[in-house]
Each structure stands twice: as C-alpha cells, then as structure tokens.
C-alpha cells in the first residue's frame, strides 16, 4: 500500500495516513502488527489492486476446476515473476495442485501490464494441467553438455511462448506487436533456419496449440527429422548453419579444453560458434597488471 499511496487522491491518501498513524499509538507489538495487516488488506481491496488477478483467473475458468486454489507470493526480481502449480504438503498424491503466482509489489500498480503477464503465465499453467498437452518438467535425456541443455531449454521456452502469445492474440487479449517480438526471438533461437525462419515460425504462432512432445522434437531437430550429421556440431550434437573447421582461429587452450571433454576430437571435425564461445568463456581470465 505504501507504493500505491502515491497514486491515491489527496483525500484517499489522507484517510489512509490518518488510520495508519493511529496504529502507531498501540503499545502491544502483536496487536499493532495485526492492525497494520488489517488496514493494508482493507485498502488493498478498496483500491482494486486484486482486480487484475481475479479478472484473468475468470478468463481461465478451467483452471478453477483443476486446482485447489491460487496463492500469491512475493517475487524479488522481474525474472522471478511467474505462475506455476504445486502439490500441497500432506495432500493425497492424486489431489488437485495449487496455482502459485509470484509477483513484485510494484507490478500490482500497472493493471494492464499485470494482466498481460498473468494471461501469459496462467495460459502456461493451463497447458501444464491439460493431459492432452503432455507436459513434463524435464527434457528428455540427450547426449549434450550442460550448456547445450540450457540452449534446448531456451529453445523450448521460445516455442512455447510463441504459441502462448499467438493464442492470446487470436482471443483478442494481447496486442498485435507480440508477433514481431516473438518472430525476432525465434530467429535468434534458430539461426540455422535462415530463409525458412518465417515459414517455420508461423505454425507455432498462428496454429493450434502444440503438444509438449512436438516442441521437444522441434528443438532437437529444427531442420527436420533425420537431419544429416554434417549439419550438426560434433561437440554439442545440435544443428548449426556453420561449422568452423580446422585449427585457424582456434586458441590452443580452447583446443585442449575441448579435447578434455571430447577425447579424440580434432579441429578438422569442426565446432559451432556457440561451442567455441562456451569454451573460450571457461578459460581463466589473465591477471591484470
């Protein structure tokens, strides 16, 4: 409420401050804390700061049928703002989960931005809870290094987010600029598609909701099933549009670091630019004079 106070009218702010100042006169600490909680809760509802969450939950009424309720917890940073599902401690294994939404207090002050965030996050939750989507928390085991696994997770996020925004746009719940933003993100995540980028992007944004399995299949083989080995990096085994071959431009220490992880590898077999950058980043930084 202290953040929201700056947006109140002079009369509203004065009423809030008057009640708040009276509570400071209460001597007993526990009683004083209870009164602060009651005051802030009452003004929170009075000024409608809870309204965006209730509105977006009403748009996804199927969530209410598949969950036990919704809890809102604090987020420290923007990256932590998200929605997820969590099993309640002590509940039966087959009991419905609870939706957990994490938000920063300042996000509650911008209703339109909050609605966009919640619509995206709760549609993710709706997918996760739908057996037809087939969501699994972990990606299937693939023969890649940890950095490559992170790349696969990022590609998964890009595809899923493109589908989420596409569906919201068709429902009239998201602005038209979302398509260009998601296309740009898709192009960065899948540079090997080159001139096929827009055609490959369209089904994810404009088409029906994909399954978890379809997303996983694409992030592993964006060039199509049976992608030729020469189109893959021999180190991370991921598709790439360019393989750098030979020792030219390859730092000796990077060469040794790669061979430690991939015995028998030779520069002539090639490496993708991402792998070269990863190994260069792992080298110790020289001491400054």
- pLDDT digit string (tens) for 186-216? 998 888 788 999 999 999 999 999 999 999 9
Same domain (yes/no): 187, 253: no
Same domain (yes/no): 102, 77: yes
The number of distinct structural domains making up the chain is 4
Same domain (yes/no): 70, 90: yes
Domain boundary among 65, 87, 110: 110
Same domain (yes/no): 172, 213: yes
Phi, then psi, of 227 in degrees rounded to 5: -55, 135
Considering the domain boundaries, does residue 132 fall inside one?
A: no
The single residue listed with the structure tokens 């002590």 is 90
Confidence at residue 262, expressed as pLDDT on a 0 to 100 scale: 86
Domain boundary among 31, 46, 61: 46
Same domain (yes/no): 21, 61: no
- Ordered DSSP codes for 157-224: HHHHHHHHHHHHHHTT-S-TTHHHHHHHHHHHH-GGGGGGHHHHHHHHHHSPPPPHHHHHHHHH-TT-
With a CB cutoff of 8 Å and minimum separation 6, the contacts of 206 are 166
Considering the domain boundaries, does residue 118 fall inside one?
A: no
Count of C-beta atoms within a 10 Å radius of residue 38: 12
Same domain (yes/no): 106, 174: no
Considering the domain boundaries, does residue 31 fall inside one?
A: yes
User: Residue 268: which domain range?
Assistant: 242-282
Same domain (yes/no): 34, 86: no
Same domain (yes/no): 255, 215: no
Considering the domain boundaries, does residue 136 fall inside one?
A: no
Confidence at residue 155, expressed as pLDDT on a 0 to 100 scale: 92
State the first-to-last Cα distance of the chain, in angstroms, to the nearest integer: 51
pLDDT tens digits, residue range 251-269? 888 888 888 888 888 888 8
Same domain (yes/no): 92, 27: no
**pTM of the full predicted structure?**
0.74
Confidence at residue 253, expressed as pLDDT on a 0 to 100 scale: 87
Considering the domain boundaries, does residue 170 fall inside one?
A: yes
Confidence at residue 254, expressed as pLDDT on a 0 to 100 scale: 87
Same domain (yes/no): 152, 222: yes
Considering the domain boundaries, does residue 125 fall inside one?
A: no
- Ordered DSSP codes for 20-79: HHHHTT--SHHHHHHHHHHHHHHHHHHTTTTHHHHHHHHHTHHHHHHSS-EEEEE-SSGG
Please give the Cα distance from 114 to 150 (Å, whole number). 28
Same domain (yes/no): 32, 97: no
Exposed, middle or buried: residue 155 (CB in 10 Å: 0-12, 13-18, 19+)?
buried
Considering the domain boundaries, does residue 134 fall inside one?
A: no
Crossing angle of helices 111-129/146-170, nearest 10°?
110
Confidence at residue 229, expressed as pLDDT on a 0 to 100 scale: 45
Confidence at residue 59, expressed as pLDDT on a 0 to 100 scale: 92
Low-confidence ranges of the chain (pLDDT < 70): 1-8, 89-91, 93, 141-145, 147, 225-231, 239, 241, 284-289
Considering the domain boundaries, does residue 79 fall inside one?
A: yes
Confidence at residue 78, expressed as pLDDT on a 0 to 100 scale: 92
């Amino acid at each position: 409420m202290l953040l929201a106070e700056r947006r109140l009218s002079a009369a509203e702010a004065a009423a809030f401050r008057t009640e708040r100042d009276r509570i400071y006169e209460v001597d007993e600490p526990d009683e004083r804390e209870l009164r602060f909680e009651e005051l802030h809760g009452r003004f929170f509802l009075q000024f409608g700061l809870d309204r965006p969450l209730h509105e977006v939950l009403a748009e996804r009424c199927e969530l209410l049928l598949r969950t036990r309720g919704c809890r809102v917890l604090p987020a420290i940073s923007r990256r932590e703002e998200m929605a997820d599902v969590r099993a309640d401690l002590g509940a039966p294994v087959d009991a419905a989960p609870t939706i957990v939404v994490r938000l920063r207090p300042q996000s509650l002050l911008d209703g339109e931005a909050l609605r966009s965030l919640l619509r995206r996050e709760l549609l993710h939750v709706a997918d996760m809870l739908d057996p037809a989507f087939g969501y699994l928390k972990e990606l299937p085991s693939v023969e890649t290094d940890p950095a490559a696994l992170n790349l696969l997770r990022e590609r998964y996020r890009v595809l899923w987010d493109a589908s989420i925004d596409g569906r919201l746009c068709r429902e009239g719940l998201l602005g038209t600029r979302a398509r260009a933003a998601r296309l740009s993100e898709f192009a960065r995540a899948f540079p090997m598609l080159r001139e096929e980028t827009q055609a490959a992007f369209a089904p994810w944004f404009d088409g029906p909701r994909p399954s978890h399995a379809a997303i996983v299949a694409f992030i592993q083989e964006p060039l199509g099933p049976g992608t030729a080995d020469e189109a893959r990096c021999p180190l991370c085994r991921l598709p790439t549009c360019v393989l750098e071959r030979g020792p030219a431009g390859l730092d000796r220490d990077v060469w040794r670091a790669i061979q430690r992880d991939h015995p028998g590898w030779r520069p002539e077999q090639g490496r993708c630019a991402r792998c070269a950058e990863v190994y260069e980043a792992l080298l110790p930084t020289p001491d400054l004079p």
